Structure 1
Amino acid sequence: MSKPLRFGVLGASDFALRHMARAIHEAEGAVFAALATSSEDKATPFRAFAPDIAVFTDYDAMLASEGIDAVYIPLPNHLHVDWSLKAMEAGKHVLCEKPIAMKAAEIDRLIAKRDETGLLCAEAFMIVHHPQLQRVRDLLAAGEIGRLERVEVGFSFDNPDVTNIRNRPETGGGALGDIGVYAFGCARFATGEEPVAITHAEITRENGVDVTAEVSARFPSFGYHGYVSMRMAPFQEARFHGRSGVIVVKTPFNAGVAGLAEIEITDGQGTRRVESFPTVRQYVMQVENFVCSATEGASYPWSLEDAKGTQAMIDAVFKAAFDADQG
């Protein structure tokens, strides 16, 4: 049996504390070995469940440590590419929060470094590790609802705090980067298709940050409509509408946290069935899949190329909205 993959967490973010550091700590084949933070005091809540972690108050010092094999990066969006590159240059595998880059072209640098080093570098897009989205993909491929005609996705929450990094342009904030990756990525993953045109893009901004975006797109075989917002009541749903049936995913993104992981399938006669995944923990599964890929060469379900495809769609939405405003 291979040795456990020793993870260092680069930044004491609230999300790392609530979800990913705990997932690393609990995942089979992984060890939460270290935390890099600007203040050792920020390590206290992490030590409550992982008392043996090493704490570095210098990011580069953690990257230089021989006791670290992989790095999880939950830093603000605008820092993702540079620290992912630094980590690979230090010989570490990289699992970086989404969006892994602010522009699709920036991901080319990560792909080149990945290929040069042979290390695993991936965006932490946890929903592709959950069996509910994998099941949707398989049902669509099997023709369960006939020809797919339309995909509709909504994802929203209310975050008016102007000091939060999601609301600050200098830290790469914005609804499209934060949750648009889910609204677009889930459609791409489930269908295996890429958009051929953005047919409508309307973006509402506050303080230089996109807080709401409504998007329509054309894929080769279906139409897409979705919205994301940081100024609406919490909601999430993905709907796949075919000629002979409908698949609805009630909690496609924060399954097990915001609601139950369930797929509702309705056929053309109105017969409905529900498939549930009550015990799946997608953050833990993400870490375990990362470990298997990094240590055993197993296929990883979300490559940098996959992440680039979603970012390319985000880039296209921004351009379409800009063009519409100018025209």
Structure 2
Amino acid sequence: MQEPVRWGVLGAANFAREQMARAIHMAEGADLVALATSDPAKAEGFRAFQPRLRVHDSYEALLADPEVEAIYIPLPNHLHVEWTIRAAEAGKHVLCEKPIAMAEEEFDRLIAARDRAGVLVAEAYMIVHHPQWQRARELVQGGAIGALRHVDAAFSYHLTDMGNIRNRPETGGGSLPDIGVYTFGSTRFVTGEEPEAIEHAHVRRENGVDVFAHVVARFPSFTWSGFTAMRMAPRQEVVFHGERGVLRVAPAPFNAGVHDLAQLTIEIGHERRTERWPTANHYVLQVEAFGRSLREGVPYPCPLEWSRGTQRMIDMVLAAERGRA
């Protein structure tokens, strides 16, 4: 039996405590062994499900821990590149929360650091590990709805806490970096295509961050329209519209099991079929895929080169917004 990958968590973020640290603890082939936080009270929330957790009082101490092989980074967006590179330079494999970078050119540094250290570095883009998205890709690329002609995507939530990092420009806030990675990246994953042009970008900002972005884009074989919002009622949906049928990934394409049930529906004429995955946990599946890459050499499905394409589309939208100013 292979040794489990020994994980450390760099920072006691709420999301790490509630989702990813638990996923590491639950995943096959993974062992959550360490946490870095200067606040002992925050560590207790992690020790509630992993009592033997070692707690370091600094990020540097965690990176120096010889027992830790892989680092999960849930820090605010503006710190992702710095600490990903520092972890790689310390010889650690890295799974960093999305967006792993704030601009496409930052991927040059990330890829160079990964290659110098000979480690696996990836963005924690969990949805590609979920069977609902793997099935969506299989159906669309397999021609189940005929030639794809258009994609609609929506992701919104209502966040008015101005102290939240998503509402603060200095921490890399905004709807595009936070959830544009989903509306853009899911389309790229399912179709295998990259955007050719942004034809429309209407962005509304508050406090220096985008709180609404409506985008129209052109891909090689289909058109795309969608929005992200941080001041609207929660909604999640992606619709792939082909010549023969329609495929809907809803009501929880992005927060499956948290926002709602993971399912997709395919409509061909008057026939409708729904497939559901009530128990799949994409966070656990993500950790297990990372471990297989390390222990078995299985190619990781979401390498930095792929994640770079989503950031490129975000950058294209921001460039189009500036062109309208």
Q: TM-score, normalised by structure 2?
A: 0.99
Report the more deviating stretch, 245-254 or 293-302: 293-302
**1:260-306 Cα deviation digits (max 9, x unpaired):** 11110000x22000111111111000000001112221111111011
Counterparts of 2:246 and 2:12, CA distance in 1: 41
1:276 aligns to what?
Answer: 276
Residue 147 of structure 1 and its aligned partner are, at CA, apart by 0.6
Tell me, what secondary structure is at the counterpart of 1:104?
coil
Counterparts of 1:163 and 1:285, CA distance in 2: 32
Residue 317 of structure 1 and its aligned partner are, at CA, apart by 0.3
Percentage identity across aligned positions?
A: 59
Q: TM-score, normalised by structure 1?
A: 0.98
Q: Does 1:287 align with 2:291?
A: no
Counterparts of 1:118 and 1:296, CA distance in 2: 16
2:92 aligns to what?
Answer: 92
**1:121-153 Cα deviation digits (max 9, x unpaired):** 000000000011111111111100001000000
1:258 aligns to what?
Answer: 259
**1:50-87 Cα deviation digits (max 9, x unpaired):** 11100011100110010100000000000000100000
Letter of the structure 1 residue corresponding to residue 38 of structure 2: S
Q: Does 1:224 align with 2:224?
A: yes
Letter of the structure 2 residue corresponding to residue 285 of structure 1: L
Q: Does 1:297 align with 2:297?
A: yes
Residue 118 of structure 1 and its aligned partner are, at CA, apart by 1.7
Matches within 5 A, 1:164-313: 164-250=164-250, 251-267=252-268, 269-313=269-313
Tell me, what secondary structure is at the counterpart of 2:105?
helix
Counterparts of 2:117 and 2:62, CA distance in 1: 19
1:147 aligns to what?
Answer: 147
Show structure 1 runs of 4+ deviating over 6 A: none
**1:26-50 Cα deviation digits (max 9, x unpaired):** 1001011111012122101111111
1:121 aligns to what?
Answer: 121
Counterparts of 1:202 and 1:294, CA distance in 2: 42
Matches within 5 A, 1:32-43: 32-43=32-43
Residue 235 of structure 1 and its aligned partner are, at CA, apart by 0.5
Counterparts of 2:316 and 2:158, CA distance in 1: 25
Counterparts of 1:158 and 1:273, CA distance in 2: 31
Q: Does 1:314 align with 2:311?
A: no
Residue 115 of structure 1 and its aligned partner are, at CA, apart by 1.6
Unaligned runs of 5+ in 2: none
Counterparts of 2:117 and 2:295, CA distance in 1: 14
CA RMSD of aligned residues (A): 0.7
Counterparts of 1:170 and 1:264, CA distance in 2: 40
Counterparts of 1:158 and 1:24, CA distance in 2: 29
